[in-house]
Structure 1
Amino acid sequence: MRNPPPDVALPRRRRLRIEVGTLIAGLVAAQAAMLGLLGYWGAGRLLHGVAREAHLEEHVRLETEIRAYLASATGAVRALAQAPKHRGERGADERNAELARALVAQSAALDALYFVDADGNTIGVGRESGAAPRPIQDRAAKPGRIDLRAQDWMREAAASASPVWSEPHVLAYSAGRGVSFAAPADGADAHGTREGMAVGEVSFGHLHALVESFSHAGAGDSAVVDAQGKVIARSDEPASKGAADILDEVLALAAAHPLDAPLLDHASQAYLVRATPIAGTPWRLVSWLPEEAVVGGLRRGLVAAAMVLALTLIAALALSLWLSRRITGPVEVLARVARRIGRLEFDNLPRVDSSVEEILRLEQALDESAISLKAFRKFVPADVVSELVKQGRPLAPGGRLAEVTAMFTDIEGFTGISASVPPGVLVPQLTEYFNAAAGVILAHGGTIDKYIGDGMMILWGAPVAQEDAPVRACRAALALCDALDELNAQWTARGLRALRTRIGIHTGPAVVGLLGSSERLAFTAFGDTINVASRIEGANKEFGTRVLASGHTVAALGNGFVTRPIGEAQLRGHGGRWALFEVVASS
C-alpha cells in the first residue's frame, strides 16, 4: 500500500476497544438516562397525583361531615321556625319549648335552640358540655337582658325573610363564643309582621372538634373561615405574634388560584392547599397538607429505586466494558499478529483466547497466511520484501540506479564433485554450506539475491542504502571462509569431501529493482558492476586466491583490512583492465 503524501491529513484513528466500549456504554447510559428521566418525571407526577387525591379525599370527607353537622342544626332551626301558632293560643309557649327540646335532642350540633317572638320574649332549651337540655324562658322586660332583636344578623334575617348565619360572637345561651343560625318564623300577624325568629346556637367547640379530625394520620390542618377571612374554627394553633401564619398564606394562595391551587412553600416544606365553599353557609373550608406526609414513604422508595437503577447502570457499564474487552482484546492480538506477518516475522506468534466464532475464523485465516508466507520467505529475501513494503513502493516491475557492492561465490571444482558424489550425500552437505553462508551474509547486512547452482549472488546497498557496504562485504567474505573451514573440519571427520569456495567483490553503480512479468517478479540488480563482480570471482582460479576485490572496493575499505595487490588484469569476457586485490584479513 502506498504511503499518502506528507501534506495529506490522515483521518483520526481510534482504537476498536474504545469505539466498541464507548458505543455499548453510550447506548446503555443513554437508555438508562432516558428511562431514569422518564421514570423520575412519571414517578414525580404520580406521587404528586397520589398526594392530591389523598388530600382531596380527606378534604371532601371533612366538608361532608361539616355540612351534615350544620345541616342537622339548620334543620332543627327551620323546623322550629315552621311550627304553627307560636303565640295567641293558650299553651303555645309550652308546645314551642317541648318542640325545641325534642329537636335539640336529635341534633348534636346545637348548644341552644330557642324562639324569639316579636316582643323579644325567648322560649327554648340549651345545654352545655353534653348535659341534658335545660329550659330557656326569658322575658323581654328582664333587667340586663341582651335584646337579640338588635343584633345585625337578626335584623338581616328579618329584613330578608330568609335564614342567616351570624358572624362569630358571644353566645347568648351557651358558654363561650360561637355562631348562630336565625330563621324567620312562617306566618304573620294581622299587620303583616313576622311573628318571630327561630335561633340555633353552635359553639366553636363542636367545630374545632370537626376540623381537628381533618387527617387521621395526624398530618395536615384545616380551618373554617367566613367571607371576610375571619377564622371560625381551625385545627392548629395560630402563629405567635410577628411570625408568618400559614393560614394567611393558604388563604392568599387559595384566593389567587380558586380552582386548582399549586403547592405552597412554607418553612421549607411543600403543602397541598384546597379551599371550597360550605354549602348553605357564607363560609369556606380550607385545608393544607404536607406533601411529604402523604408520599414521603413513596418518595423514599423512589430514591431507593433510583439508587438501584444507578447501581444497575454502573454494573451495566462494567459489563459493557468487559464485553468490549472480550471482543476487542482478541482483535488487538490478531492485529499484532497481522503486523508481524506483514513484517514476515512468523516465529512465536501469539494465540487468542476467544469463544467468538468469527474471531477464531480470523485467527485461522491469519495462520494460513503465515504458513504460506513462511514458505514464500524461503524463495524471496525477507528483508527485500519488508523494505519495499516499508518504503511504500508498488510491487510492480521497475528499477532505479544505486551504488551497490556485489559479491559472487562459487565452489571450486563443483562440476567434478557433483559427478563423483551421490546426490543423497552432496545435497545435505551443500545445504549445510548454504545455511552457514546465509547466516554469515545476513549477520553482515547482506541480501542474498539468488542461488546459482553451487554459487550465490549477494548485494549490499540494496534494497537499503549502506554507506559501509564495501566493508560489510569484505568482512562477510572473510567470515564465510572461516565458517567453511570449520565445516570442512567436520566433514573430513565424517569422511566427507572438503569444499573450497571462491569469492569476487566489486563496488559500483547498478540498476536495482523488481524485474520480471506482471505475474511473477524478482528483486535483483543488473549492469556492468554485477558483471565485473562475477568476472572477478572467476579470476580467483587464475590467481589461486579465495577472496578477490576490485580496486573500487578496496579504495573504500580504509585501513581496516589487510589486502595484497594482484595488479591489473584482463577479466574474461569483459573489455578493459581492472586492478585486483586479495582480501587477506581484517586488521
Structure 2
Amino acid sequence: MNPGRILAYLRPKGWRLQFSIGAIFAILVTPSIAGLIYWSYDTSLALISQYAERDVKNAAEDAKNTMAAPLRRFADSVLIAAQVEAAMPGFLRGPDSDRMMIQELRNSPGLTSYYVGFADGSFRQMQRVALGAKVSGITPPAETRFASRMIDRSSGDVALDRYVFLDAEARRLGDGSAGPTTYDARQRSFWRLAERLKSDRTQSAVAIADPYVIGSVGKFGMSVSAPVVRNGQLVAAVATNFTLDRVSQYLQAHPASANATTLVVSRDGTVIVHPDPAEMADRKGDEIVSRRVGDISNAAVRAAFARRSELKSDYFTFTALSDGAEYVALFVPFLAEFGKPWEIVIVAPTDDFIGPLRRNNRLMAIVGTAVIVVLLLLISGFARLISRPLVGLVREIRTIERFSLDTEVRLSSNIREVKQLIAATQMMKTALRAFTAYVPREVVRGLLLSGRPIELGGRSSHLTIMFTDLEAFSTLAENSPARALLDQVSTYLGMVTHAVNETSGSVDKFIGDSVMAFWGAPLADDDHAYHACVAAVHAKRRLAAQNVLWQEKGSPELRMRVGIHSDAVLVGNVGSMERMSYTVMGDGVNIAARLEGINKQFGTAICVSHSVFRECGERLWLRPIDQVAVKGRRGGILIYELLAIRGGEADLAASPAEQEICRRTAEAYALMAEGDLATAARAYDDIARTFNDPLAVEMGRRCREGRPSAQLIEVSENAKVQPG
C-alpha cells in the first residue's frame, strides 16, 4: 500500500463537530450552573405568568372590541338598508337613497363607499372623493366631496358608467360618464357573498369579506354586505367599504406593553390588521395581496406561530431564536357573531412585565458563575468557532428555501462535517439554479416544498396562453449571417422571456423563433389575461427600441407577431417518466397559436381573442378586427388588435394616434357589423389614408367585396404548436 496515501488519509482535515460539541457540553453542564439557572427560573415563572397573562388578556379584549365596533355599526347599517329595500321596492334605485348613503359616509370617517347591486346587474354607489382625486379617470369639480355612480342594466342595452358629483352639502356640481362598461354587479364578490347568505341560513345575516385593496383610496380595507330577499329571491345586495386605518392606529397606540405587538390574523395565517400598515400587504407585480404571518418582519411573532403549532396551546411563553429573548404569546378567537375565523394575537417580551425581577435573576446568575469565569471564556471561544459558520449556513439554506438562488455567500469552517455540509449546500444551490433554466421556477419550488416525487398528470384550469413569432424569419435566415442572426434572435427571445417572468408568467418552450408562454399556473393568478397582455406590449415595445439600435449598426429589423387567448386547458406534467415537461394542452392552445398566425392576414402585431376582452378589456387599448370562425368550433369569435395598456406604466400607455385609431376603427367596425358595408368601407379607407394602416386596408377591401360572415382560422405555415 502506498504510504503517501495512508498519511494523506490520517492527516487531520479539520476538527470533528462531535468532538467540539462534546467539549462544550462537558464544560457547560455543571451542577452548580444548572442548579442556579433552574432555581432562578422556577421561582420567577409563576410571577411572570401572573402579571403577563392578566395584562395581555385585557389588551386582547380591548383589541377585539375595537375591531368589532365598526363591523357592528356597518353591519347594522346595511341590514337596515336591506330591510328598507325589501319593504319598499325601488327605494335604493331612487334619489332618496343618496341622502341615506351620504349620511352614512359623513357619520363614519373610515367608510369609503356605500353601494348596492341589483338582480338585473345594475349598480349604484356613493363614494367619498378626496381633494384633487380623479374618479374613473374623470376629473370632477374642485368642490366635489361625494360621487354618485350609476350603472343601469335594466333595459338590456349597453350599460353606461355615469357619475354625479356632489359637494359637502350634497349639492349637485356636475356629472360625467366613463363610457360603456362591462361591470356587472352579479359578478362581484359582494353579490356572491349575498347569494351564499340567502341560500345558507346557518350563516349570519351579513357577510364580511376578507381584506383587500379598496381601489378608490388605494388602502387596505374590508366590505360588509347584506342580501335583499323578496319572495325567496335575491333581488339586491347592499354593501359598504371601509378602511382598516383606525383599527391599525389603535393597535399601534394601545399595545399590551411597551414592546408588545398586537395583530388580527386569520386561521390560515393571513394578516387581517397589523399596527404597522406596511406589514399588511405585499406588492406582486401590479397586484397588492395580503401578507402572510410568515412574511412579516417581526421574528418574535413568526416564532410564536411556530411554537403554537408545537405546544398546542393558546397561551404560552417561548424564546425567540432571533434575539434570544423570552416572550409571552396569547391567541384569542374573534367574536363568533361575525362568522370569521380570526384571532387576536399578542406577542410581548416578558421583560416588559417583570424586568426588575429578571435583572435580579441575571445578577444572581453572574455571581453564581463568577467562580468558573475561565471556563465560560473557553465556552465562548468554542461557541464562536461553531456558531459562525452554522449561522451563515442557516442563512444560506433559508435563501434557498425562498428560492433566492442568485446571491452568493462565502462560508468556511475548520470542522470537517460543517465543511462537507457547506460544500453540499453550494452544490445543491448550483444544481437548482441550473434546473430552473429548463423548468418554470414555481414548478421547481412547488416540487421542493411538497417533498413528493414528480408524477405524470395534470388538471383542467382556466389560463391565458401566448404565442409569439418573428415576421418573415425564413427570409431573414436566408439573407443574414448565421451568427449575427442568432445574436438578434437570442436578444428577442430574452426580451420576451423577461416580459413573461416579470408578469408572473411561465415560458413553456422555445420553438425555433417562437415562444410559447402561459399565465395562471403553476401559481394561481386571477388576472392572468391582463398580465399576458402587459407582457406582450412590453416585449413589442422593447423590441421596437432595440430595432433602432440594430438599424444604426446596419442589422435588419425583427418584427414580432403575438397571439393571446384565455381558455380552459389541461396543465401539468406530460411525457414519460424518463423525460417530461410541465406544459399546457388543449384546444385553447391551438387557438392562441392560430391567433398569432392570423396577424399575417390582417397586418396586425398582437391579436387577442374575445375571451381576453371579457377578462380585462376595460384596461386595454384594443380595436376590433372581425368575427372569425375557428376550425372545429361552432359559431364565430370576435378578435381584436392590442395596441397599449390603460392606466399602467408610462411605457405601456397609448399614444394619441393609437387612441384615435382605436376609436375610429371601433366606429368603422360598428358600421360593418350593422350591415352598412359601403359606409364602413369609406371609414376604413379614411383610416388607411390617415394612419397608413394595413388592417384598415384589408377591412376596407373586405367591405367592398361583401365581407363574408366569418373567415376560418387556419394554422399558418409559420405557426408552431404542439397539438393538444
What range describes the TM-score normalised by the shorter chain of this pair? 0.3 to 0.5
Q: Report which structure shows greater RCO (CA 8 Å, sep ≥6).
A: 1
Larger radius of gyration: 1
Q: TM-score, normalised by structure 1?
A: 0.47
